[in-house]
Structures are given as C-alpha cells and as structure tokens.
C-alpha cells in the first residue's frame, strides 16, 4: 500500500468488487431469506450492515497477524454481548458512577474516548451509545461510511428444494416419516460493486491510526475467505481501488473519481457466469492535482 493510502489525516474514497457463485450473499429475513434484490431492476443488493459484519468478524484476527496491540481491537457489536453492558464498562473504567445523575461533559467525553480506544468498530464506524443507563454518552460518528453493494447486472435468485434424512420432531419419526423437506436460495452468479468513504475530520475525533487503516484494508482483502458457509456459496473479493487526497477536505468530489473505475461485460457474453465475463477498466491517467490512486486488489 502507498503511504498516502493509509494516512489517517487525509480523505479517502474507494470502490470494491466481490462476486458470488451459487450462493446467497445477503438474505432478506422479511422475504424468507431470499437474496436481496432491487424489485424494479432485478439488481442484487448487499446491505452496508452485512459488509460491516464481515469486517467486524475478521479485523481482530487481522490485527493479531499484524502483531498490533489486541486491547485496541476489541469489537463492540459482537454476537453474544449486550451493548448496554459494554457501554457501562466505560463508566467503570473512567470512574463514573453508573447511577449518577450529574455526569459532566468532560466525564462523558472521557468515557467516549475509552470506547474508541478499546473498540475498533467504534473507532471506524461509530456507534450509538445513548442506551440503557448510559444516555449521557450520546453518539459517536464514525469516519468510515459504506453504501449498499449493488450487482453490475440483474440477478435471478433461484429456490432449491432440499431434503434431510431425519426429522425435527420425534413424533414425526414415530409416524413413519423418513425425510423432511426444506429449501435454500442462491444467486447463480453476481458481481457486486460497493463504495465507501473515509472522513479524516471525523477520524481525528475517534483516534484512527495508520495501523487501523492497514488492518481495515487487509481485512477487506481476506474477510470473504473467513466468512465461508454453505449458504453463501463461493464469495470472492475481486477488486479494491482507493483514491486518496492530499488533505482532510479533499481535492475533488468523490463520485467523479469513483466513476473512473468501470466494469463492462466482455464482448459476446450474454449471461455472465464467471468474473472473466467482465472487464474492469481504470481511467486514472489525468487525476486532479493532489489525488493519488492505489490498487490494493484487482
């Protein structure tokens, strides 16, 4: 990675591509776990929440392999842990009485700083901390903001009937039933594009470091390898492209920069089924002054 790519004091705008083969990249719980799609166009969708979940599940391992201090890479939003309990820990750590009705702005700020120093996802993504008995902490705005991932072409989710050789209930076995029916949804193939943006101004408040950005980018490159399930099929990171500016304000609007990364079908391909059915082009020969470009994967 170029030094400017991991500079926490400047703005970054980035785009990434990942694909799925015979899997469900993000099921909709309101739709029987059917893969999310834009009903008007048929394009596949993956929520920003799903992307950040994969990052949270992997970034601690990334930090460990990089020999970073583990006490700075805990994850706040983690399965099996109540948020109120973890937020209350910040009161205890900074000497605030949990039941106190007189918490000064300085005390609240000390507790927020403790949270950002301990939890990498709070440092990067922010968090709502005004829950339970810790309402004085308010909200922390994170410097990294993701959008929804959208497939390059429409996808056609397929429902597969499946059987299991045993029953869920003993009474069904007693009736002589030998199998149980079920179903699973897959997308035969889809290439998805997601954008994210980094605000150096907000990063100053949460204490993001060059090490944090290094761990973040490395996590993006490998998180799909550590998130394998039969349901998700084969998911692969296919490209990660970063535009970095010379300062916190930025040298150019984000979208015209990201639009320089284009994906088109290879001539003659009707229905894409593999990544090589597409061609990625990078038009970065005449970037605005102060903007640098880095290909981390692609």
Q: What is the pLDDT of residues 232-273, one digit of tens each?
A: 999 999 999 999 999 999 999 999 999 999 999 999 999 999
Residue 34 to residue 243: CA distance in whole angstroms: 34
Give the CA count within 13 Å in the CB-facing half-sphere of 251: 15
Total residues belonging to the chain: 298
Structural contact between residues 17 and 241, judged by C-beta atoms closer than 8 angstroms: no
Q: Which ranges in 119-236 belong to alpha helices (H)? A: 120-125, 170-174, 200-206, 210-222
The token duo for 51 is 């992307």
pLDDT band at 101 (very low <50, low <70, confident <90, very high): low
Give the C-alpha separation, 60 to 252, whole Å: 33
> pLDDT by residue (tens digit) across 183-237?
899 999 999 999 999 999 999 999 999 999 999 999 999 999 999 999 999 999 9
What are the pLDDT digits (tens) for 159-196? 999 887 777 888 887 787 877 778 899 999 999 999 99
CA distances from 84 to 76, 134, 140 (A): 10, 8, 15
27 phi, psi to nearest 5 deg: -75, 150
DSSP 3-state percent helix, strand, coil across the chain (nearest 5): 35, 30, 35
Separation of alpha carbons 111 and 129, rounded Å: 10
d(CA 297, CA 292): 16
123 burial class (0-12, 13-18, 19+ CB within 10 angstroms)? buried
What is this structure's pTM? 0.93
Backbone angles phi, psi at 191, to 5 degrees: -105, 125
261: exposed, middle or buried (Cβ count in 10 Å: 0-12, 13-18, 19+): buried
CA–CA distance, 77 with 56 (Å, rounded to integer):
8
The DSSP secondary-structure symbol of 270 reads S
Q: Radius of gyration of the chain from Cα atoms?
A: 22
Cα–Cα distance, 27 to 41 (Å, whole number): 18
Distance of CA 48 to the CA centre of its chain: 6
Counting residues of the chain whose pLDDT is more than 90, the rounded percentage is 78
Any idea which of 85-89, 249-253, 279-283, 287-291 has the lowest mean pLDDT?
85-89
Query: CA of 16: how far to CAs of 43, 158, 185, 241, 261, in Å?
Result: 17, 25, 24, 6, 10
Q: What confidence score (pLDDT) does residue 180 get?
A: 77
Cα separation, 242 vs 229, in Å, equals 29
């Amino acid at each position: 990675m170029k030094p400017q790519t991991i500079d926490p004091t400047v703005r970054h705008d980035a785009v990434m591509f990942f694909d799925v083969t015979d899997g469900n990249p993000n099921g909709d719980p309101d739709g029987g776990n059917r893969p999310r799609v834009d009903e008007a166009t048929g394009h596949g969708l993956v929520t920003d929440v799903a992307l950040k979940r994969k990052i949270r599940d992997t970034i601690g391992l990334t930090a460990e392999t990089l020999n970073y201090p583990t006490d700075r890479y805990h994850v706040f939003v983690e399965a099996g842990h109540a948020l109120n309990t973890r937020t209350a820990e910040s009161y205890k750590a900074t000497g605030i009485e949990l039941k106190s009705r007189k918490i000064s702005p300085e005390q609240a700020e000390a507790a927020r700083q403790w949270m950002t120093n301990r939890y990498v996802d709070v440092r990067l993504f922010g968090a709502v901390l005004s829950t339970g008995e810790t309402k004085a902490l308010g909200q922390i705005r994170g410097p990294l903001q993701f959008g929804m991932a959208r497939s390059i072409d429409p996808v056609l989710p397929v429902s597969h009937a499946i059987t299991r050789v045993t029953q869920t209930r003993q009474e069904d076995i007693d009736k002589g039933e030998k199998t149980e029916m079920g179903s699973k949804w897959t997308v035969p193939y889809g290439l998805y594009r997601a954008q994210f943006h980094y605000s150096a101004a907000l990063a100053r408040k949460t204490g993001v470091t060059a090490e944090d950005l290094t761990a973040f980018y490395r996590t993006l490159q490998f998180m799909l390898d550590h998130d394998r399930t039969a349901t998700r099929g084969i998911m692969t990171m296919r490209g990660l492209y970063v535009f970095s500016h010379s300062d916190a304000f930025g040298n150019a609007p984000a979208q015209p920069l990201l639009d320089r990364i284009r994906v088109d079908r290879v001539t003659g391909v009707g229905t894409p089924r593999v990544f090589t059915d597409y061609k990625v082009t990078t038009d970065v020969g005449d970037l605005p002054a102060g903007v640098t470009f880095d290909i981390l994967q692609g």
